[in-house]
Structure 1
Amino acid sequence: MADWYWQSWQGQDFLCCDLLQPWPHGFFTRQFWPQTPETLTASLSANAAVQRVKQVHGNRVLAPADLPAAAAEGPMAEADGLLSDCAHQALWVCSADCSPVLIGDRATGQVAAVHAGWRGTAQTIVPVAVGKLQAQGSRLEDLVVAIGPAIAGEVYQVSVDVAAAVGRTVVNDAASDDEAVVRALLQKEHSPLLADDTPGKVRLDVRQANAWQLEQLGLGHDQVAIAPHCTFQEPERFFSYRRTGEKQVQWSGIVSRDLAELP
């Protein structure tokens, strides 16, 4: 099992994962609010170019070449994932209860950062990001993935149709009705779904659903880590939209490296 550890910057701690040790990276807490990636990147790298998008709960994943020039006027590109196309790019996503997912390629040094809420997960945004990495030369066996702090399944109550939308990405019989998909998943070991006493409701672990999607792609258990922290249950560390209804976020970022910098 991968180890998670805290690293300090400006008197505050952010979370790191040893799977991603070759890359400067961090899952930041509410203590860093309201700082933005333009400031936070200094905690990871002195010379990395900041890359970010306007998140819209979809499955679009862009490279920096797809983004407007930093000096250009106008809105940011809409997407929920970024992948690097050269070294020293700092890729950032923000989240409150959704899953921040950081991916590294141990052979090329390239990385991806993904915002995976239930909607993005139902649209398989993490496999989309992996596919884009593969399109630029990555191999599945070289990838490592850290899924950061997010709302835990035991406290995330959703409707059956939401659970089924996510569940269809990890079951073979996608043609079944919503109730059948949910019933099938509830019977599986380490399921991303948990039973709920309220009729028409179920508990959903979006982190586990993403881990299942990665496993179905062919990644091994030792290539994927899930942070042992829940945004909803740790108010001293994390914002949670489900808990407070406030639109406040924490940032997660990772910096690409060139081959000479890899261990």
Structure 2
Amino acid sequence: MHTWHWRNWEGMPYLTCSILEPWQHGFFTQPFWPRSPQELTQVLQPDASVYRLKQVHGNTILTPQEIDHKLSNGGDDVDGDSALASADGLVSEQPLQAVWVASADCTPVLIGDVKTGQVAAIHAGWRGTAKKIVPQAIARLKAQGSKLENLRIAMGPAIAGEVYQVSIEVAAEIGSSIVTHEDEQKIVDALHELPNSPLIPDPDPGKVRVDVRRVNTLQIESLGISGEQIAIAPYCTYQTPEHFFSYRREQQKKVQWSGIVSVKN
């Protein structure tokens, strides 16, 4: 089993996972707010160059080179002093690149390749999950020479299925990423029948609860990646207010950052 460890930096806790042991990485907690990825990279690897995104709940994956290219052509947006490219996933190309995503209930996914040393950071909310953002990131890694069996994937703290109520429409949109059907109710019925189903019945009519991390796991396994290459943090952002912001709980635009630094192979 993969183990999750609490680490401390200046008295503040962040999480690491044994599956990503070769890489400096962390799933940071709310006491680090509002520190930027620039500052948090100092905790992990001060020599790394830092990359982050303007997250838009899509399934676009960028590399540092693509970000630099976009920004030299004016960028997509201006956020504070620095322009940011719009996307929800980052895949490194060189050693010592720190890639970061922010989340408040959505799933932060960090991936490392044990052979190439390259890494990815992905923001997988329900919309990104419905658009198969993690398989997209894995496809980018493969295009850069990764083999599926060399990938190690950690999903950080996110809202748990038992408290994540959504409409049947949303559940069907997410579910259509793993079950093909035209009819919303049929997709939902098929999801309920899966072993270790990502859906949990909800007492409210027209509602269901969905485990987004489980849907991502099913997408990843359907690519031929084994469950042993995947670790899921045993923490729910909504139910752990002492450590994590939850948009659903607080309705505030505060986030925690998750990042990983690529290494030489």
TM-score range, shorter chain: over 0.9
Q: 1:170 to 1:70 in 2, by over 3 A?
A: closer
* Residue 89 (1) aligns with residue 89 (2): no
Of stretches 187-196 and 210-219 in structure 1, the one that deviates more from structure 2 is 187-196
> Contact between 1:118 and 1:206, CA under 8 Å: does it hold in 2?
yes
The CA distance in 1 between the partners of 2:249 and 2:184, in whole Å, is 27
Shift of 1:176: 3.3
> Contact between 1:68 and 1:76, CA under 8 Å: does it hold in 2?
no
* Residue 129 (1) aligns with residue 137 (2): yes
Q: Which TM-score applies when normalising by structure 1?
A: 0.95
What is the aligned counterpart of 1:141 among 149, 166, 169? 149
* Residue 79 (1) aligns with residue 109 (2): no
Shift of 1:69: 6.8
What is the aligned counterpart of 1:184 among 186, 190, 199? 190
Structure 1: state its 5+ residue gaps. none
Aligned position for 2:110: 102
The CA distance in 1 between the partners of 2:112 and 2:141, in whole Å, is 10
What is the aligned counterpart of 2:216 among 197, 210, 226? 210
> Contact between 1:89 and 1:256, CA under 8 Å: does it hold in 2?
yes
Shift of 1:204: 0.8
Shift of 1:70: 11
Shift of 1:175: 2.5
Aligned position for 1:115: 123
Shift of 1:193: 1.1
Q: Partner amino acid for 1:243?
A: R
What is the aligned counterpart of 2:207 among 172, 193, 201? 201
The CA distance in 1 between the partners of 2:19 and 2:163, in whole Å, is 27
The CA distance in 1 between the partners of 2:94 and 2:160, in whole Å, is 34
> How many residue pairs are counted as aligned between the two chains?
257
> Contact between 2:71 and 2:85, CA under 8 Å: does it hold in 1?
no
The CA distance in 2 between the partners of 1:84 and 1:69, in whole Å, is 15
* Residue 231 (1) aligns with residue 231 (2): no
The CA distance in 2 between the partners of 1:107 and 1:167, in whole Å, is 32
Q: Which TM-score applies when normalising by structure 2?
A: 0.95
> Contact between 1:24 and 1:44, CA under 8 Å: does it hold in 2?
yes
Aligned position for 2:2: 2
Q: Deviations over 1:76-103 (max 9, x none)?
A: 1000000000000000000000000000
The CA distance in 1 between the partners of 2:160 and 2:183, in whole Å, is 25
Q: Partner amino acid for 2:188?
A: V
Identity %: 56
Structure 2: state its 5+ residue gaps. none
The CA distance in 2 between the partners of 1:27 and 1:127, in whole Å, is 21
The CA distance in 1 between the partners of 2:190 and 2:10, in whole Å, is 48
The CA distance in 1 between the partners of 2:181 and 2:236, in whole Å, is 32
Cα-Cα RMSD:
1.3
Q: Deviations over 1:197-228 (max 9, x none)?
A: 11110001111110111000111111001100
> Contact between 1:29 and 1:251, CA under 8 Å: does it hold in 2?
yes
The CA distance in 1 between the partners of 2:115 and 2:68, in whole Å, is 29
Q: Partner amino acid for 1:19?
A: I
The CA distance in 1 between the partners of 2:177 and 2:70, in whole Å, is 36
